[in-house]
Amino acid sequence: MAQYTPMMQQYLKIKAEQKDAFLFFRLGDFYELFFDDALKASQELEITLTSRDGGSNDRIPMCGVPYHSAENYIRQLIEKGFKVAICEQVEDPKTAKGVVRREVVQLITPGTVMEGSMLNEKENNYLASLSAFPDGSYTVSYNDLTTGENSVALIPGGFDAALSELYSRPVKEVVVASDFQDSQKEMLADRLGYTVSYQDETEIQTEFHSLVKELHQDKLLVGFGRLLNYIQHTQKRTLGHLQPVSVIELKEYMTLDMYSKRNLELLETLRKQGKAGSLLSVVDKTITSMGARMLKKWMERPLLSQDAISERHDQVEGFLAQFFERETLREELTSVYDLERLAGRVAYGNVNARDLVQLRNSLNRIPGILNTLSQFDHPSIRELYETVNPLEDLKDLLEESISEDPPITIKEGDLIRDGYHTQLDEYRDASKNGKQWIAQLEQNEREATGIKSLKIGYNRVFGYYIEVTKANLRHLPEGMYERKQTLTNAERFITPELKEKETMILEAQDKSVELEYELFLEIREKVKAFVQELQNLADQISRVDVLQSFAQVAEANQYVRPSYGEERIVDIKQGRHPVVEKVMQDGTFVPNDIYMDEETDVLLITGPNMSGKSTYMRQLALTAILGQMGCFVPCESASLPIFDQIFTRIGAADDLVSGHSTFMVEMLEANHALSNATENSMILLDEIGRGTSTYDGMALAQAIVEYIHGKIKAKTLFSTHYHELTTLDEQLERLKNVHVRAEEYEGNVVFLHQITEGPADESYGIHVAKLAELPEVLIDRASQLLHQLENTSAGDEAAATSETDEQLSLFIEEQKEKPAEKKANPSSIEKQLKSLDLMEMTPMDAMNELYRLQKRIKS
């Protein structure tokens, strides 16, 4: 330390406490970064790297960003997963003795961002904590600092289950204990892309006990305590907007693991990782950003309670029945700002006057929304209407106090309406009258001197002055004004009367701005008292927005209300894929029925590639999810059981981060389904076993089907190209064969996309390759090879017979030479069986060999 200047010593001491963050060190009008921070920031932000003398022999690397534009640079770092510590001057430089005192006033991290420009308005910004316990269970806690929302879940199923739970929400940062397993930290950071932070303190301070009244388990308290302490450590300010912690009862929601959410493309597509083409893009007709966030939450957690599902369906039905009232409601919602995040900014203390204007304008729309809701006939909509509190007192406060068009900053004045505060009105009147007096004085002096160019001006150095050009100085009587300043082309003067008025005007202006700032802080404190009611109002308006969105989607796309029963029967008439049918806007989408009674658990689906097997499977899962989240569904009618979980294995991709091949990923996802599914679950398995050899894959596929059929009994759609598996319907009584129709016409395959009972009779693989426009010479060669292979297969028996005859003739000749030896002639299959060394074979190798020999015998 001794080798550095006092200021650099101060920097190093503060930096030692913020090792994992970029330290934005305030120096005048700039935030400066030094040493390694400067080297890394100059690369990440693409700004100039310089250096400065810090007292040591070597110059210190340095870069900086202007204070007024720092937010943009901070956002870039946060988006890349970094943290930024804001270090401000907390002492007036004029009164400081030595180095100005500085402190970190805020630590901005990916999970604790509050600035609107750094946030996606239609997505929550969650900070999460993950706590592990000796019995293998975990707690996952969530906080959205922008809204104050808090929740916690107990995960008994191990780390993979905890990962799936984290994946269910848009988490940006995860807080763990410092001794958390390294391998698991790497998975959080590398595989899921989270910023990993550390907090060991878990005790909840007395001031926050009101938040955890519903937490009756020590594990939940520890999990949320870790999260809360991290928030306190980073934010260093009041957290009055934090809402009581809600316990996520996982048994109340359908479980959608991370594989299913990805494979079904609920929130984003696999290929482009964007909203367009996802289920969300079809059903999101919300108007407000807070409604859009609630819709995502509902999609991530479909309901299991039939009563709760029915309540949402009733409300959608009510909105759907009255088109004109619904359109009026949508217009009213257009002018409602993000009440949820505005409430957070109020409590957080970073709300400005324009935010309060947005809040006031939003509250002004609530009576219109209530009036429209009252016009709906359905009783469920009337119930919604009766729960909304319009917060008239808060609206009146903002109407009386905040001006129509205030500035962005809160220290420039013009924030408060005339008539709100008597003293402020007096200051404004003095300032206004003083300026009128100045204007009148200027006119009087022009008339008195006859100098039409005479003017009265103002600057911060000299205050008000009378300015006369040098050409007109001869018209001034000697001693009329007191000389103040000489310019190249003019002289400036003052008078005692002008200085007196100047004092009055400037004092009034200064006092007015100072008083306005104090009044604004008082108003902000008064608004804070309404934060909880604002959060409740935001929740109610969000719910209205999502439900009207569902009605809008149902009307535009001809969705119907599904029914639910106790029986495990799936009966969907003319079902459609909600996303694919929107892409195929020419009306060519082919709907299909899906029927699985209580005696059918598995549909084995065969058919060529590109025929629609995966679409058929996905549309069942998406229909189930839409229905249980409260939306109507794409079909003519639907009767469904309530599914507790959905597991999918659709598509194939290597997991390069974890080093897993396509086949390993396939097996891991299949194992996850087989290990966790119940008879009330849905399982979708597409082309299981294709990532390995034919015999391996076929054996695994059959074993998996048999396991699901015999052990799990979940409703399962299993697509395959292994046509040999279609004989399973003879052995498994609850398995049914269906296939996707395709016809060959003039040498080309025509996909009909219709699901029909029974197995497919041909795979049409070469025809699909032809559709993909592979080279014609390649297609011809493939056709030749296929013909040869088919002939070889058909000739297996003849080849085997020929081989036996040849061996038999040799054996007979040998017998003629040695008539004493009379031994039975073994067949080639017998010889192969005899040659097998079973003790050296794996069970899978033995199964494959047995299958091959059995196939030869059958042929």
Q: In terms of pLDDT, which residue wins out, 266 or 847?
A: 266
Q: How many CA atoms lie within 13 A of 264 on its CB side?
A: 32
For residue 793, pLDDT over 80 is answered with no
If one compares 816 and 350, the residue with the highest pLDDT of the two is 350
Percent of the chain with pLDDT over 90: 55
Please tell me if the domain spanning 6-108 has the same topology as the one spanning 306-391+530-557. no
Task: Judge: domain 566-761, CATH 2.60.120.10.
Answer: no
**Hey, what amino acid is at 349?**
G
pLDDT at 329: 96
Q: How would DSSP label each residue in 798-809?
A: HHHHHHHHHHHH
Assign 818 a pLDDT band (cuts: 50, 70, 90): very low
- What SS3 state is found at 3? coil
pLDDT of residue 682: 97
pLDDT per residue as tens digits for the range 264-319: 999 988 887 888 889 999 999 999 999 999 999 999 999 999 999 999 999 999 99
841 pLDDT band (50/70/90 cuts)? low
The radius of gyration computed from the CA coordinates of the chain, to the nearest angstrom, equals 38
CA atoms within 13 A on the CB side of 251: 2
CA dist 74 to 59, 117, 155, 199, 349, Å?
A: 26, 11, 35, 23, 20
Mean pLDDT of the region 180-194: 89
| C-alpha 20 chain-centroid distance | 25
Is residue 604 within 8 Å of 728, Cβ to Cβ?
yes
Please name the fold of domain 121-229+236-248.
Nucleotidyltransferase; domain 5 (3.30.420)
Residue 65, CA distances (Å) to 26, 101, 107, 166, 320 in order? 10, 20, 17, 35, 53
202-to-156, 178, 223, 525 alpha-carbon distances in Å = 20, 12, 7, 30
Residue 434, C-beta contacts closer than 8 angstroms, at least 6 positions apart? 501, 504, 505, 508
The stretch 173-202 carries a mean pLDDT of 92
pLDDT at 157: 81
Distance of alpha carbon 263 from alpha carbon 279, whole angstroms: 12
Q: Other CB atoms closer than 10 Å to residue 386's CB: what's the count? A: 10
Tokens in use for 331? 């217009």
Q: Return the pLDDT at 658.
A: 46
CA 138 to CA 159: how far, in whole Å?
A: 7
Amino acid 390: pLDDT: 92
Give me the residue spans of the domains in the chain. Answer: 6-108, 121-229+236-248, 306-391+530-557, 422-520, 566-761, 796-858
At 770 the pLDDT is 67
Question: Which of these, 640, 599, 603, 597, lies nearest to 622 by C-alpha position?
Answer: 640
pLDDT digits (tens, 9 = 90+) for 751-768: 788 899 988 766 666 666
User: What residues are designated binding site for ATP?
Assistant: 607-614
Average pLDDT value for the chain: 87
> Is-above-0.85 flag for pTM?
no
Range among 89-98, 153-162, 174-183 rated most confident: 174-183
Between 176-185, 565-574, 692-701, 705-714, the lowest mean confidence (pLDDT) is in 692-701
CATH annotation of 422-520: 1.10.1420.10
Residue 810 above 50 pLDDT?
no
Model confidence pLDDT, tens digit, residues 699-744: 888 999 999 999 999 999 999 888 889 999 999 999 999 998 877 6
- Tens of pLDDT, residues 43-99: 999 999 999 988 777 899 999 999 988 999 999 999 999 999 999 998 887 788 888
- The pLDDT of 488-493, averaged and rounded, is 92
Collapsing DSSP to helix, strand or coil, 103 comes out as strand
Cα separation, 234 vs 85, in Å, equals 9
CB contact at 8 A, 179 and 133: no
Q: Give CA–CA dist 752/736, Å, rounded.
A: 21
Q: How far apart are CA 279 and CA 270, in angstroms?
A: 12
The whole-number pLDDT of residue 651 equals 63
pLDDT digits (tens, 9 = 90+) for 428-478: 887 778 888 888 888 988 998 889 999 999 887 788 899 999 989 988 888
Structure tokens that stand for 830 in this block = 């017998």
pLDDT, one tens digit per residue, over 529-569 is 999 999 999 999 999 999 999 999 999 999 999 999 889 99
For domain 306-391+530-557, the question of CATH label 1.10.1420.10 is answered with yes
pLDDT at 126 over 70: yes
* DSSP β-bridge partners for residue 764: none
- Chain length of the chain: 859
User: Residue positions in the annotated binding site?
Assistant: 607-614
Q: What is the structure's pLDDT at 764?
A: 60
Task: Enter the CATH code of domain 6-108.
Answer: 3.40.1170.10
pLDDT(177) > 70? yes
The whole-number pLDDT of residue 800 equals: 43
- Provide the edge-to-edge strand list for the sheet that holds 748-757: 255-256, 645-649, 682-686, 715-719, 602-606, 735-745, 748-757
Instruction: Report the C-alpha gap between 786 and 203 in whole angstroms.
Output: 70
48, two tokens: 């100039």
**588 close to 696: Cβ distance less than 8 angstroms:** no
What DSSP designation does 117 have?
A: G
Pairing of strands 30-34, 682-686: unpaired
Do 26 and 102 meet the contact criterion of CB atoms below 8 Å apart?
A: yes
pLDDT confidence tier of residue 355, bands split at 50, 70 and 90: very high
